[in-house]
């Protein structure tokens, strides 16, 4: 797809990943004046009329907007996470179809995978079980959008694709303790321990789970490559195919931040999914994406 003459809507385009996607779109030839970033104060995408207004006159939709957070937020607000993500996505897809949008790029979540998925996660395993309990409402809501896009492609010939990025990190990450993901959450935790002079650092779980981390600029580049080159119903992983134990992660962050206190594992707190590591072969084969920034 030649992007230079396309009108492109990027939901969540002012966020952590969204800014990188807008930048990568421009680098790939998109006209910055034809890129629209709807702001939540003007467009509540949980409302049908806002979705209709947002997609009007657009050629391409890149849907990044999400109500998202770590284990804590998923435990506190499972209903909100389910409703908001389902309603935003499903209404936006339907409005885009009705409006004659050329292509819909939906960015899903690694939380859609079953709790005990064989490692590395292959896209074909996504329906082989229920997601990990702490983030299941969010994961199921986002996974429903994959079904919707496949159904709309089958019945209407609507060109929608679905991408599954792994945990992200990078510039302008979210450090809010109520909603941040693991890397910024741990960085903030160490920073506050240093400010307070704490000799102990409490960390949720037992350190055994593994996670895979994709640099936000790499993720954005993969999303834009898929926008240009990928047209199929099959979901596609975006990752590095490299897993990091949480124990190693926090020890590395402490070392890089020169924190010498003792890590205290809160084993009464949930670990989350035991392992996360993606098979990234499909992205490489289908549209030539490989991560460039090593962890």
pLDDT at 254: 97
Torsion of CA 179, 185, 190, 192, to 10 degrees: -20
Query: 285 Cβ partners below 8 Å, 6+ apart?
Result: none
Q: Is residue 267 part of a domain?
A: no
Dig out the tokens for 101 from the structure.
């949008």
Q: Is residue 70 part of a domain?
A: yes
Enclosing domain of residue 32 = 8-169+214-242+276-287
d(CA 123, CA 1): 24
pLDDT at 179: 74
Q: Phi first, then psi: give them for residue 212, nearest 5 degrees.
A: -115, 140
User: Which mean pLDDT values do the consecutive 10-residue runs of the chain (295 residues) have?
Assistant: 98 96 98 97 97 98 89 85 97 98 96 92 96 92 98 98 96 85 92 96 93 96 98 98 95 97 93 88 98 94
pLDDT at 291: 97
Q: Is residue 127 part of a domain?
A: yes
pLDDT at 284: 98
The structure's pTM equals 0.93
Residue of 43, 97, 138, 162 with catalytic role: 138
How many domains are contained in the chain? 1
Domain containing 146 — which CATH number? Answer: 3.40.50.720
pLDDT at 283: 98
Query: 124 Cβ partners below 8 Å, 6+ apart?
Result: none
pLDDT at 32: 98
Q: Is residue 184 part of a domain?
A: no
138 is annotated as an active-site residue: yes
pLDDT at 45: 97
Q: Is residue 15 part of a domain?
A: yes
Q: Is residue 293 part of a domain?
A: no
pLDDT at 285: 98
pLDDT at 29: 98
d(CA 134, CA 273): 9
Q: Is residue 209 part of a domain?
A: no
d(CA 68, CA 71): 10
Dig out the tokens for 246 from the structure.
């949480």
Q: Is residue 198 part of a domain?
A: no
């Amino acid at each position: 797809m030649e992007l230079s003459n396309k009108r492109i809507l990027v939901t969540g385009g002012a966020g952590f990943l969204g800014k990188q996607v807008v930048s990568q779109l421009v680098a790939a030839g998109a006209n910055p004046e034809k890129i629209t970033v709807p702001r939540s104060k003007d467009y509540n995408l949980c409302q049908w009329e806002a979705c209709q207004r947002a997609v009007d006159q657009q050629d391409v939709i890149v849907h990044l907007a999400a109500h998202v957070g770590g284990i804590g937020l998923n435990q506190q607000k499972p209903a909100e996470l389910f409703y908001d993500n389902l309603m935003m996505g499903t209404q936006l897809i339907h409005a885009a179809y009705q409006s004659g949008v050329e292509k819909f790029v939906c960015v899903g979540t690694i939380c859609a995978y079953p709790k005990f998925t064989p490692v590395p996660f292959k896209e074909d395993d996504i329906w082989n079980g229920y997601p990990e309990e702490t983030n299941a409402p969010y994961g199921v809501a986002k996974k429903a959008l994959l079904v919707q896009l496949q159904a709309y492609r089958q019945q209407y010939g609507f060109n929608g694709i679905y991408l599954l990025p792994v945990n992200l990190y990078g510039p302008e990450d979210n450090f809010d303790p109520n909603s941040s993901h693991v890397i910024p959450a741990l960085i903030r935790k160490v920073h506050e321990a240093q400010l307070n002079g704490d000799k102990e650092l409490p960390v949720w779980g037992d350190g055994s789970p593994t996670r895979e981390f994709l640099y936000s600029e790499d993720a954005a580049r993969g999303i834009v490559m898929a926008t240009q080159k990928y047209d199929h119903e099959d979901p596609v992983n975006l990752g590095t195919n490299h897993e990091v134990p949480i124990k190693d992660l926090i020890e590395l962050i402490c070392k890089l931040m020169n924190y010498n206190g003792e890590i205290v594992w809160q084993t009464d707190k949930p670990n989350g999914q035991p392992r996360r590591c993606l098979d990234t072969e499909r992205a490489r084969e289908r549209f030539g994406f490989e991560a460039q920034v090593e962890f």
